[in-house]
Amino acid sequence: MTKDFEPFEYPQQANMIAGVDEVGRGPLVGAVVTAAVILDPNNPIEGLTDSKKLSEKKRNLLFDEIKEKALAWSLGRCEPEEIDQLNILQATMVAMQRAVADLSVQPDYVLVDGNKIPQLPMAAQAVVKGDLRVAEISAASIIAKVTRDREMEALDVLHPEYGFAKHKGYPTKAHFEALEQYGVIEQYRKSFKPVKRILGID
C-alpha cells in the first residue's frame, strides 16, 4: 500500500479481497466495463491510484503489471442493448456481478468503488473514493479504463468521423456535433437523452 492512500481500514476477517470498479457510465456509446482484481500481497505493485490521475503511458504499463502480478483479475460488461433495457445503474451492477463471478480465485470479501454495491454471494462493502484509497480498487479501475479506452480506439478506426479515440464516447461538444452530422450507429445507447433526441424518440 502506498502512503498516498487516505487511511482505509481493511475488514479484519477478510483473507481474499477483490476490488471492483467501473468505467463508462457517462458515455453515449459502447459498453459499461467493470473489472475485479485480487492483488498478491507478496508481489506488490508500485504506483496504484485512480486510473484517471495517471498518464496513458503509465496506465498501460500498470495494466500489464497488474495482469502479470495479480492473483486473479477479470472483466465484466454490459453492452448498449442491455444498458437500454436495464438503465445504466442496474447495468453497472450486473457488469460488476459478472466481473466477480468470473474471477479464477473466489474472494471472501469485495470492495466496490462508490456508494452502491451489487448483490453478491460474499460480503461486500462500498468505498467512496475507493479508487484513490484501496489498492485493489485502483487496480480494477486501471484494468477497466484501459480496456474500455482501447475499445473506443478500435471503434474510432471503424468510424473515424465521430472522434471516439479522443472523447472515448463521453458527451463532449465535438461528439455532439459528430452525432448531429453523422447520426446514430448501432453502438450507441438508445436510451440516453442526446441519442434519443437524434433518433426522434424523446
In this prediction, residue 92 carries a pLDDT of 98
In this prediction, residue 1 carries a pLDDT of 43
Could you tell me the three cell numbers for 159?
A: 468510424
Could you tell me the three cell numbers for 11?
A: 475488514
Q: pTM above the 0.85 mark?
A: yes
What is the average pLDDT value for the chain, to the nearest integer?
Answer: 95
Q: Which domains are present in the chain?
A: 17-160 (3.30.420.10)
Question: Which helix (H) or strand (E) segment is 23 a member of?
Answer: strand 17-23
153 annotated as ligand-binding = no
22 annotated as ligand-binding = yes
Q: Is residue 90 predicted with pLDDT exceeding 60?
A: yes
In this prediction, residue 202 carries a pLDDT of 65
113 annotated as ligand-binding = yes
Under the banding of pLDDT at 50, 70 and 90, the label for residue 88 is very high
Strand partners, 73: 37
Q: Is residue 27 predicted with pLDDT exceeding 70?
A: yes
31-64 pLDDT, tens digit per residue, is 999 999 999 999 999 999 999 999 999 999 999 9
Task: Please give the share of the chain, as a percent, with pLDDT higher than 90.
Answer: 91
Which residues fall within 8 angstroms of residue 6, CB to CB, at 6 or more apart?
A: 129, 132, 133
Strands (E) across 47-197 are located at 72-78, 109-113, 123-127
Q: Is residue 29 predicted with pLDDT exceeding 70?
A: yes
Q: What gap in Å lies between CA 146 and CA 108, rounded to an integer?
A: 26
Q: What gap in Å lies between CA 86 and CA 78, rounded to an integer?
A: 10
At residue 188, the 3 state secondary structure works out as: strand
Stretch 193-197: mean pLDDT: 94
